[in-house]
Amino acid sequence: MIETIAASRCPRCDMVVAPPATYCPHHPVAMVPAELAGVGEVVTFTTLHTAPTGFKSPLHIAIVELEGGGRFVCHGADTRGLKIGATVAIEAIDDVYYFSHLGALERARLFWRRTGRAGDRVNAIARSLAKKVWKSRSVGTSA
Amino acid sequence: MTRVGRRSEPLPALMAEAALAALADAGVETPDAIVVATMNPEEFVGDGNFASHVATHMGFADVPALRIETATSSGAAAFYAGVAQVAAGLRRTVLVVGGEKMTHLPTPRVSEIIGRSIDPYERRYGATMPALAGLVTRALMTLGGVNAREIAQVAVKNHANGARNPFAHFQQPVSLEEVLDSRMVADPLRLMHCCPISDGAAAVVLNPERGAVRVAGIGHGADTLAVRHRRELTSFVATKAAAREAYAQAGFGPERIDVAELHDAFAPFELMSLEDLGLLPPGKAGRATLDGDTALDGRLPINPSGGLKARGHPLAATGLAQIVECVWQLTGRAAGRQVAGASCALAHSIGGLATNNWVTVLERA
């Protein structure tokens, strides 16, 4: 199962932004709601070694171009081996979006973070299995 | 302007020091109006209504003063507001003064306050200025073909210039190895790619009469607050727009510029800006920097003051400190770092993560 990300689209210039905005950044026009799949290409990424208050170092941050157009900021469990242009999946954990470049270890880490935080292990296991099926299908497409 | 660095004086005292020196230099006792630039005195020093605060402190309680803010480019924006008042004939003699006091606060708190200028959603993901600059630098190195030695050389060059500037925060040279070995801040951005946290103030006096230096053009460019809303990460749209406007007003282009002060808050920004401003062709800034073209004795000296990297970056003072350095270069007063025969200078200031940029072109009259 792939996460759905709420976005909005400008009826004038077709710009897509995520999360949704009231007005287009480039036009004084009300945006219309849109939904994007949580899959995309890494535009750029960094590892912050002096994270601000409320975050743990090292903090992995990426900008991902979602399929369908919008660019999205998210966290990651790791950036080792990650390259600009790589295909990643994005999932929400407690309302925070994480990218994962589909390695087994990272999957496990995100999985345990999810179960640890949410405490809903049954749900987590079910979702993880569903994603595993999707993952095995899409590994070959990562750049 | 004041010496930049770790200063013990309160902010109004620093701003008075810069302002009174500029007024004395211009032979003016009392200006007709004052434009004040401070980015966030409410949080840095706990005072608001800062235009009146500063004016009153320096004995100008009766002079109308207003405050201008465009994040880290506030000094350049205040200069624009001052020039606009004079050019419109609303005021004759205008004092423009900018300053910031930051070193008394712990670094994480300073980062947090500067970070207020970042898109709130991106901030929720821990984005600080170094983090956003790290994202830009990664794109620049991967897609823009810039390498680590080229970026490091910007810091080496600017420290070498700062060592010749008695007003600079850092007056010691650094080696390429020191920069390349400094600790990682926001991969691939290292500590010695980043400007320091500084206190300081700078001021200029404007009037409509023909003086030693004239304002040839001022351009203002804008871009989205959110970095994720941009298509282009290896150049700044706001710099390009500001440059177009400034050159159009001046009636000439980058070919006339003899010396420039660029906004190197992060070393790779100097390379991007060289190309965004048309001072060097696309893709050539890194190589030119390694070859010494932008050094003090090079073909096009960049940041003779030491830039934000070595002179320091007291936020709202910076845009004005750049203009002061340009004026000194054009009038032969940049002792120890003088660019011989400079007749045209450019100052470039970035506000936020390049959301509100300014380009000012100055010419020897």
pLDDT in tens, B154-172: 999 999 999 999 999 999 9
The nearest alpha carbon in chain B to A96 belongs to B125
CB nearest to B139's CB, from A55, A59, A84: A84
pLDDT mean over B332-352: 97
Instruction: State yes or no: pLDDT of B55 exceeds 90.
Output: yes
pLDDT mean over A9-17: 97
Please report the pLDDT score of residue B68 as a whole number: 98
CA distance A40 to chain B (A): 14
For chain A, give the percent of residues with pLDDT over 90: 49
The nearest alpha carbon in chain A to B123 belongs to A52
A50 to B185: CB separation less than 8 angstroms, yes or no: yes
In a domain, B84, yes or no: yes
Could you report the per-residue pLDDT of A28-37, keeping only the tens digit for each? 999 999 999 9
From edge to edge, which strands make up the β-sheet containing B356-364? B213-222, B356-364, B344-349, B259-261
The pair of structure tokens assigned to B28 is 């003016």
Q: Which residues of chain B are within 8 Å of residue A44 when distances are taken between CB atoms? A: 135-136, 138-139, 142, 233
Q: Which residues of chain A are within 8 Å of residue B136 when distances are taken between CB atoms? A: 44
Asked whether the CA dihedral B328, B318, B205, B18 is positive or negative, the reply is negative
Residue with the two structure tokens 């535009």: A43
SS3 B70: strand
Rounded Cα distance, B125 and B138, in Å: 18
Q: Which CATH class is domain A4-141?
A: mainly beta
In a domain, B344, yes or no: no
SS3 B327: helix
Could you report the per-residue pLDDT of B185-212, keeping only the tens digit for each? 999 999 999 999 999 999 999 999 989 9
Could you report the per-residue pLDDT of A84-134, keeping only the tens digit for each? 999 899 988 888 899 987 655 555 554 555 455 444 555 555 566 666 666
In a domain, B22, yes or no: yes
Please report the pLDDT score of residue A120 as a whole number: 52
Rounded Cα distance, B339 and B15, in Å: 28
Rounded Cα distance, B93 and A74, in Å: 50
* φ and ψ at residue B239, rounded to 5 degrees: -70, -45
What is the ipTM for the molecules in this complex?
0.93
Rounded Cα distance, B353 and B72, in Å: 9
CATH of residue B96's domain is 3.40.47.10
Instruction: State yes or no: pLDDT of B112 exceeds 80.
Output: yes
In a domain, B153, yes or no: no
CA distance A61 to chain B (A): 8
From edge to edge, which strands make up the β-sheet containing A32-37? A16-17, A4-9, A32-37
Q: Which domain holds residue B15?
A: 11-105+199-204
Domain count, chain B: 1
Please report the pLDDT score of residue A140 as a whole number: 42
In a domain, B350, yes or no: no
Whole-model pTM: value is 0.91
In a domain, B65, yes or no: yes
Average pLDDT, rounded, for chain B: 97
